[in-house]
């Protein structure tokens, strides 16, 4: 806030905030489409390694010289905690997401990932003693039913495909990430947490280095550029934009904006890949969005929502 000529406080311009909101939504929505391109040439694990190696270097270049992120003074127990979160949030989550998007469309994948607040609420209820309430449980059941419909459409009928299973594993990993990072949010800002989670997550992915070396010999230029795009744009710039959004508005309000990612992912998938929106996606997507909104509204009454990333 800066004072104007009358002495009254003047709010900062909203232009940068709106730009960062748009940047987050567009980059994270586009990541689902870019993954569909990249997994044609890269195995799931090696794609995750390449993407977040690039994101790690980009974040380091953008943050370490400014001093906004410092690795000094972090206790050993916190390093161990971030290693665990990095394993779930980066290594397992993105490997599973990449594996799922080999057969599941970009828009459908974004819808299924969007069920993570439901699993977050259930895990928080079980392990943190939080209460959903009647509205929260109704929203959970509604969104779960929508996820079943979307999953059935993605699998070509009421059966459980491997691709859908991988996407749901990614959604569960995201929920675990949100719950386990809660204690650290009291000691670290969002930018520092983002960098530490990504940097530690890459360490687990180094297992795929030989696989990545082999894949790089055969991938096309489009597949390689898609992987580079994933690392620089959604992986680094998108996360930095999201961090700015969180610093300028309540996390619960900011989190609700991410529900726009699914329709944007469908739109980008239709324009770039020619993927059509199926009837099951519409029929299942509506209750997912309504159900997640119901759970999120209930959770906002008790605590702020952690950030979500793609």
Q: What would the pLDDT profile of 40-67 be if each residue is shown by its tens digit?
A: 999 999 999 999 999 999 999 988 888 8
pLDDT digits (tens, 9 = 90+) for 223-271: 999 999 999 999 889 888 887 887 777 554 565 566 677 777 877 887 8
Structure tokens at 301: 């009454």
| Residue at 307 is within a domain | no
Nearest alpha-carbon partner for 178 in 131, 143, 135, 128 = 128
- Rounded-to-integer distance, Cα 22 and Cα 32, Å: 16
Residue 151 has pLDDT above 70, yes or no: no
Nearest alpha-carbon partner for 151 in 160, 162, 143, 140 = 160
- Total domains in the chain come to 1
Residue 60 exposure: Cα atoms within 13 Å on the Cβ side: 10
- Rounded-to-integer distance, Cα 47 and Cα 161, Å: 22
- Rounded-to-integer distance, Cα 231 and Cα 238, Å: 10
The band of 9, judged by pLDDT with boundaries at 50, 70 and 90, is very low
Residue 280 has pLDDT above 80, yes or no: no
CB-count exposure of residue 98 (10 Å: 0-12, 13-18, 19+): buried
Q: For residue 212, what are the contacts with CB-CB under 8 A and spacing of at least 6?
A: 42, 46, 49, 50
| Residue at 3 is within a domain | no
- Torsion angle, CA of 279/282/285/289, rounded to 10 degrees? -170
pLDDT digits (tens, 9 = 90+) for 160-184: 578 888 988 998 888 888 778 878 8
Question: Based on C-alpha coordinates, what's the Rg of the chain?
Answer: 19
| Residue at 110 is within a domain | yes
Structure tokens at 26: 């567009």
| pTM beyond 0.85, yes or no | no
pLDDT digits (tens, 9 = 90+) for 76-115: 999 999 999 999 999 999 999 999 999 887 777 877 777 7
Domain that residue 293 falls in? 16-302
* pLDDT given at position 67: 81
Nearest alpha-carbon partner for 78 in 230, 163, 178, 197 = 197
| Residue at 10 is within a domain | no
| Residue at 5 is within a domain | no
The residue written with tokens 């979307």 in the block is 150
| Residue at 170 is within a domain | yes
DSSP 14: S
* pLDDT given at position 38: 94
For the chain, give the longest Cα–Cα distance: 66
| Residue at 228 is within a domain | yes
| Residue at 6 is within a domain | no
Phi, psi for 4 (deg, rounded to 5): -95, -170
Q: How far is CA 309 from CA 194, 261, 278, 306, in A?
A: 9, 11, 25, 10
């Amino acid at each position: 806030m800066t004072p104007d000529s009358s002495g009254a406080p003047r709010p900062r311009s909203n232009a940068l905030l709106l730009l960062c909101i748009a940047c987050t939504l567009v980059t994270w929505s586009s990541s689902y489409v870019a993954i569909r391109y990249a997994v044609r040439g890269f195995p799931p694990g090696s794609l995750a390694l390449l993407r977040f190696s690039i994101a790690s270097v980009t974040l380091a270049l953008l943050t370490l010289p400014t001093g906004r992120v410092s690795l000094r003074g972090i206790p050993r127990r916190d390093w161990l905690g971030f290693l665990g979160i990095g394993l779930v949030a980066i290594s397992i989550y993105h490997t599973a997401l990449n594996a799922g998007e080999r057969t599941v469309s970009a828009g459908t994948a974004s819808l299924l990932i969007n069920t993570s607040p439901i699993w977050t609420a259930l895990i928080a209820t079980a392990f943190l003693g939080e209460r959903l309430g009647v509205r929260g449980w109704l929203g959970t059941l509604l969104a779960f039913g929508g996820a079943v419909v979307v999953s059935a459409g993605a699998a070509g009928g009421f059966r459980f495909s491997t691709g859908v299973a991988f996407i749901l594993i990614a959604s569960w990993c995201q929920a675990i990430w949100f719950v386990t990072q809660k204690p650290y949010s009291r000691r670290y800002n969002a930018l520092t947490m983002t960098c530490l989670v990504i940097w530690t997550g890459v360490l687990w992915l180094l297992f795929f280095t030989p696989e990545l070396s082999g894949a790089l010999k055969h991938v096309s230029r489009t597949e390689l550029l898609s992987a580079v795009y994933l690392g620089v744009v959604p992986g680094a710039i998108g996360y930095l934009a999201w961090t700015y959004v969180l610093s300028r508005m309540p996390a619960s309000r900011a989190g609700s904006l991410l529900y726009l990612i699914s329709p944007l992912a469908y739109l980008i998938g239709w324009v770039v890949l020619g993927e059509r929106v199926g009837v099951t996606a519409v029929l299942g997507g509506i209750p997912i969005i309504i159900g997640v909104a119901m759970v999120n509204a209930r959770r906002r009454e008790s605590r702020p929502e952690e950030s979500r990333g793609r």
